[in-house]
Amino acid sequence: MDDDRVTRRRVEDAEARRANRGWWDADADDYQAEHGAFLGDVDFVWCPEGLREADARLLGDVTGRRVLELGCGAAACSRWLATEGARPVAFDLSAGMLRHAAHAAHTTGVRVPLVQADALALPFAGASFDVTCTAFGAIPFVDDSAALMREVFRVLRPGGRWVFSVTHPMRWIFLDDPGEGGLTAVHSYFDRSPYVEQDEHGVATYVEQHRTLGDRIRELVGAGFRLVDLVEPEWPAGHQGIWGQWSPLRGRLFPGTAIFVTEKPR
In this structure, the dihedral spanned by the alpha carbons of residues 83, 87, 93 and 95, taken in order and rounded to 10 degrees, is: 60
pLDDT for 12 equals 85
* Residue range 213-259, pLDDT digits in tens: 999 999 999 999 999 999 999 999 999 999 999 999 999 999 999 99
Q: How confident is the model at residue 13 (pLDDT cuts 50, 70, 90)?
A: confident
The share of the chain scoring above pLDDT 70, in percent, equals 99
The CA distance from 163 to 165, in Å, is 7
Q: How confident is the model at residue 4 (pLDDT cuts 50, 70, 90)?
A: confident
Q: Are 227 and 220 in contact (CB under 8 A)?
A: yes
- Give the DSSP H or E segment for 214: helix 213-223
Report whether pLDDT(2) > 70.
no
What mean pLDDT do residues 79-91 have?
A: 98
β 66-69/129-135 pair status: parallel
Q: Are 67 and 88 in contact (CB under 8 A)?
A: yes
What mean pLDDT do residues 81-108 have?
A: 97
What is the average pLDDT value for the chain, to the nearest integer?
96
Name 150's Cβ contacts closer than 8 Å, sequence gap at least 6: 222, 223
Q: How many other C-beta atoms lie within 10 A of the C-beta of residue 84?
A: 16
Q: How confident is the model at residue 137 (pLDDT cuts 50, 70, 90)?
A: very high
Rg of the Cα atoms in the chain: 18
Helix (H, G, I), strand (E, B), or coil: what is residue 216?
helix
Q: Give which of 88, 120, 243 is closest to 171, Cα–Cα.
A: 243
- DSSP E strand boundaries for the chain: 6-8, 66-69, 87-92, 114-116, 129-135, 156-167, 195-198, 204-208, 226-231, 257-263
* Residue range 140-195, pLDDT digits in tens: 999 999 999 999 999 999 999 999 999 999 999 999 999 999 999 999 999 999 99
